[in-house]
Chain A
């Protein structure tokens, strides 16, 4: 009882940004909602005695806003790659102390030295995933291989896409054969007519749970997160997932320690814990994204590895998103404008 009082007190002190000796047994985790299984957090606390304060966000931008606003001293954050890139550039992350980490070798070579952190000095990949096309093969019998097949007049009103301007613009840039990280006024202007022809065919935009409309039968095709497609495939094999032939990218969600983290030791211990194959497997069991942990993949079932949503087969060289800074406003304006005109 006394101990738990101490912990609560310590948590309050940590949240208030104060430093004291008592709070070494606390970890302030700031991560995506629906991304870290409770069993993993409980296991970490049981083993180390470190209490985890788990706060969630639902978009990388929201995380960035709260991190930069200061206040709460987060120990572990979980940014997507392109946000980690700018955080590194701005000196907002603590360089990892590899002497305090174990299990880094478990990360597959293709997920090391990625463009957002070429030296792997600040971040460790947590989960990765792709964005691709899912098709209800019971309702759609013609083959769908890419964006050109997805956005065909006969599919009008039967499509769900993620409500994410950048993903939609990138789909258009791939189709046009342009670089996905070159968000220039010229490229945006080139993407506009193509997107303008696509938008009226889209039945709904949903980033949070695009699988719902597919499961409900309200739509038959989608441009969705791989993890969502993996859950659909688990539900019913009629939902097939492919990476568009025009091009595809992966996103990498990493774990990192903010420069002002009050408990860097606990943060390192947590990262090592996540890197353990048996722990990483628990994450894959609950959230079927692409696991970058090679040792953990060996523990997965054949069915898990055969899931195209989690492990799509492709010949494509997959890109990653880079920080685009203020040109994001161009995307936002284009998408708002197109939604506005196609919704008349």
Chain B
């Protein structure tokens, strides 16, 4: 798609939007202003404030919250969150890519059915699905029952409330966000290009790595962003399936706003976290642009 020429500057689409255009954009601009710009601004202001005895935000300037963010405890937790999110992303790419590609290569009817199957879980509340995993993984749960009765194991596996359970939960939650963008890219890949690669003597590995991967890279990049970034901040899965034993940065931030009632510190963590997201995004964008050259 990068071969499509850019429209000339004289093209009618390049006109500056008139009043009518702005009017159409207004709801979106207003929405962004109210729910993105203003809250981010409040967060930024709070992060330099202090709290009083009751946990109310006091507007007196301090750097303390940021100093605390860079305490080894929180850096360590942030590092672990990134590691878990990274592992989740890698597994999601490994599992989700073939699925997305496979679905995209099916005939239209089957394709829509398969897509529907990917999306059906979204019809149930996320928390309920997480509780279902608890029923599956617990000591006397479905999985252990199955394995025990099949004779594959002699004692129940300790799965629930372990890091393994957290990764299972994260992969389960975010896999569709990898499959769908990959599908979106794979669907547009012209089969003739793959055939041409074969005709020119490329084996399956070379055709895959030099033709298919570059053509579906935008989908992979989008999927990585959609999986990696939210996975860092996830707190429900670590609480419910990890037994709240290993804190992630999402748990720490949530704690500051509820239990600890230290909003300024929570805000500082949030600001650092948001900046991290921005940098990840820029890095992926930059990488994407470079690889398109």
Interface residues of A (CB under 8 A from B): 59, 61-62, 64-65, 68, 86, 90, 157, 163-165, 202-206, 213, 216-218, 325-326, 328-329, 332-333, 336-337, 339-340, 342-343
B residues less than 8 Å from A64 (CB atoms): 54-55, 261
B residues less than 8 Å from A326 (CB atoms): 51, 53
Closest chain B CB from A195 CB (angstroms): 14
Q: Complex Cα distance A59/B261, Å? A: 11
Name A61's contact: one of B138, B140, B258 (CB within 8 Å). B258
Name A90's contact: one of B54, B77, B140 (CB within 8 Å). B54
Q: Would B243 and A203 count as touching, CB distance under 8 A?
A: yes
Question: Taking each of A61, A62, A157, which has the highest tally of chain B beta carbons within 10 Å of its own beta carbon?
Answer: A61
Chain A to chain B contacts (Cβ below 8 Å), 21 pairs = A59-B258, A65-B261, A86-B54, A157-B158, A163-B239, A163-B244, A203-B245, A204-B161, A204-B245, A205-B244, A205-B245, A206-B244, A216-B138, A216-B139, A216-B140, A328-B260, A329-B262, A332-B259, A336-B252, A339-B244, A340-B246
A residues less than 8 Å from B256 (CB atoms): 332
A residues less than 8 Å from B160 (CB atoms): 218
A339 with B55, Cβ < 8 A, contacts A65-B261, A217-B140 known: no
Q: Does B73 contact A (CB under 8 A)?
A: yes
Residue of B nearest to A339 (CB): B247
Closest chain B CB from A166 CB (angstroms): 9
Q: Does B56 contact A (CB under 8 A)?
A: yes
Q: Complex Cα distance A336/B76, Å? A: 11
Q: Would A332 and B139 count as touching, CB distance under 8 A?
A: no
Q: Complex Cα distance A61/B255, Å? A: 11
Question: Taking each of A86, A204, A217, A328, which has the highest tally of chain B beta carbons within 10 Å of its own beta carbon?
Answer: A204
Interface residues of B (CB under 8 A from A): 51, 53-56, 73, 76-77, 80, 138-141, 158, 160-161, 239, 243-247, 252, 255-262
Residue of B nearest to A68 (CB): B56
Closest chain B CB from A82 CB (angstroms): 12
Q: Complex Cα distance A206/B244, Å? A: 7
Q: Complex Cα distance A9/B51, Å? A: 37
Q: Would A343 and B247 count as touching, CB distance under 8 A?
A: yes
Q: Complex Cα distance A336/B251, Å? A: 10
Q: Complex Cα distance A145/B225, Å? A: 52
Residue of B nearest to A331 (CB): B260
A residues less than 8 Å from B139 (CB atoms): 216-218
Q: Complex Cα distance A302/B245, Å? A: 39
Closest chain A CB from B162 CB (angstroms): 9
A residues less than 8 Å from B161 (CB atoms): 203-204, 213, 218
Closest chain A CB from B280 CB (angstroms): 23
Q: Complex Cα distance A213/B161, Å? A: 10
Q: Complex Cα distance A266/B210, Å? A: 75
Name B73's contact: one of A62, A65, A165, A336 (CB within 8 Å). A336
Q: Complex Cα distance A90/B51, Å? A: 15
